[in-house]
Structure 1
């Protein structure tokens, strides 16, 4: 009887493991393939060779790019090289990427930049909040941007179990499988949250006390990564992974693809979703972000290159 029970338990455990593996494969869109969508004028950005995981463009056209992310389970083209921050001025006729110098005293050796958010105060001073993973831990680094010499002055490191302000922790929304990309509407009324493994974008109304209430969910057939907002139109630009399994399993014969979606009128009953760019990995692998400014589009990746396009 004991042997029968043991065999039964092993069978149940195997069935549950298989079910979870299948569910995980489904969340990764393991079987999805995409048809290419090209843009007429694109070029790889010189100098960015080890990823461009996040891109944030200021209203004046200055674009900040994080590069060199090392993340467990994801390929790195330079595992021993510290991360970098780049700047591009999209007002130039032929924009180029310039590495930003970081002030002394900051631990550059373990710098592992991930997501970026920018803030401009009343004096037009630009601050960068950069998610960092030194030694596979998580912090938020606060920098001040000095335009005169293209440098970043490190002001503080924010540490907290929930990665929020060291003064107060407050949960404002819950129920996400993986709340990845987050951004805000141009009027400041709505928060957009990309749930990468649930393949959707949540729209949340922001209240004065920063509590959030759910408005709607837009379901998409792809793994949505970072969200960027066109400040002039309110359109949402999304860097996506059509097949997440390829991102986590390094196979030179089956490269991770890239996909860029544009969402217009997300608050309407029928938002317009357009595939602006798609590539099977031959040009760009593992797209994580897409940001626009003045008819120019920057497409970033988790570990690969970065693309500059004119729309």
Structure 2
């Protein structure tokens, strides 16, 4: 009995220490923020859940993934495009999506001599998960060409295209539902990771992450960047020719990192959630404010710069920040708009 009690005390102390040094900081309990970076920003209404945005490096068009995540009307679930120079007039809903389409993370593969491809995480309401692949032509039309699923695609959040039919996808949880899922999230357990699909089959490429979220790649293809939402950091992996990943660095960003976009200078632009508890309140109550934060990371030096903070509902629960030379476009998990801000 004495041994059992000692063991129980050790477990309780371990949980208390994890709550104090991992969970509380991850939740933004100690965050101290002031608004910044909002001068000149304008809202563009699109559809509920502007969760991911990417900017075409050649045409400058912005592509936006939208989905209603509170269980409401799904009529706005789509991929959209607009020209940041004239957003209202150019906003276009792109067609040819699968019938049961609940898009999440997106990744654009730019190809020479062939149509570009857009990879999209899809969570069909009928169940399961898929990566949808679209061809994106010079006129800006999407044509659906493939749907891919495999056992390791268990809880996908974001996707990174690396070939015509090959990609990485983050799994934000090991346990998708039930008590195990709640325990994993509440205690910030390092059980999530990254899967890799080589065009024929999938496998786990990285694990041991605390709610893996956004993923992207350096311009030369040598390094893969993976955000940990609850870990509040970015993992840097060296990519081998066979797709395997070797972690070479971890960069603390001190905020709940969501999607990662690569800016024109090679920096990482991250939409983030500085206060997880406020985010959860906003999930249940659309009127509750969830602070938004955008940070820029220099992957060479690890320098983290706070670029934007919104505390008064200008945009709630920011999930992505896509930067061009002229603009910064901020999307959100639930809001029906993006912010377009001058750089």
Q: TM-score range by the shorter chain?
A: 0.7 to 0.9
Instruction: Give the corresponding residue for 1:182.
Output: 215
1:262 corresponding residue in structure 2: 296
Contact 2:290 2:313 in 1 (8 A): no
The structural deviation recorded for 1:138 is 1.3
- C-alpha displacement at 1:193, in angstroms? 0.9
Match of 2:34 in 1: 35
1:15 Cα deviation after fit: 8.3
Counterpart in the other structure of 1:299: 330
1:90 equivalent among 81, 84, 109: 84
Q: Deviations over 1:89-136 (max 9, x none)?
A: 235587742111226xx31xx311000011123324111110010125
1:140 is aligned, of 131, 140, 147, to 131
TM-score of the pair, normalised by structure 1: 0.83
In 1, Cα distance between the equivalents of 2:206 and 2:10? 35
Structure 2 stretches of 5 or more lacking a match?
Answer: 154-195
Q: Against the structure 1 CA distance between its residues 175 and 8, is the aligned structure 2 distance closer, same or farther, given a 3 Å change threshold?
A: closer
Counterparts in 2 of 1:123 and 1:44: CA distance versus 1, 3 Å: same
Residues 282 and 11 of structure 1, relative CA distance in 2, 3 Å threshold: same
**Secondary structure of 1:41's partner?**
coil
Q: Give unmatched runs, 5+ long, in structure 1.
A: 2-6
Match of 2:145 in 1: 155
Give distance in 1, aligned partners of 2:145 and 2:74.
Answer: 26
Given that 2:133 and 2:146 are in contact with CA atoms closer than 8 Å, whether structure 1 keeps it comes out as yes
**Alpha-carbon shift at residue 281 of structure 1 (Å):** 4.0
Residues 258 and 281, structure 1, Cα contact 8 Å, conserved in 2: no
**Structure-2 separation of matches of 1:289 and 1:297:** 10
1:91 and 1:80, CA in 2 relative to 1: closer, same or farther beyond 3 A? closer
Question: Is the partner of 1:175 in helix, strand or coil?
Answer: strand
Which string of whole-angstrom CA distances, capped at 9 and with x for unpartnered residues, describes residues 229-258 of structure 1? Answer: 01x311110000010111122346641111
Higher relative contact order (CA 8 A, sep 6+): 1
For residues 253 and 142 of structure 1, the distance between their equivalents in structure 2, rounded to whole angstroms, comes to 35
CA contact (8 A) 1:223 1:243 kept: yes
Structure 2 CA distance for aligned equivalents of residues 127 and 253 of structure 1 = 37
* Secondary structure of the structure 1 residue equivalent to 2:82: strand
Query: Contact 2:150–2:201 at 8 Å: present in 1 too?
Result: no
Bigger-Rg structure (1/2): 1
What secondary structure sits across from 1:246 in the alignment? helix
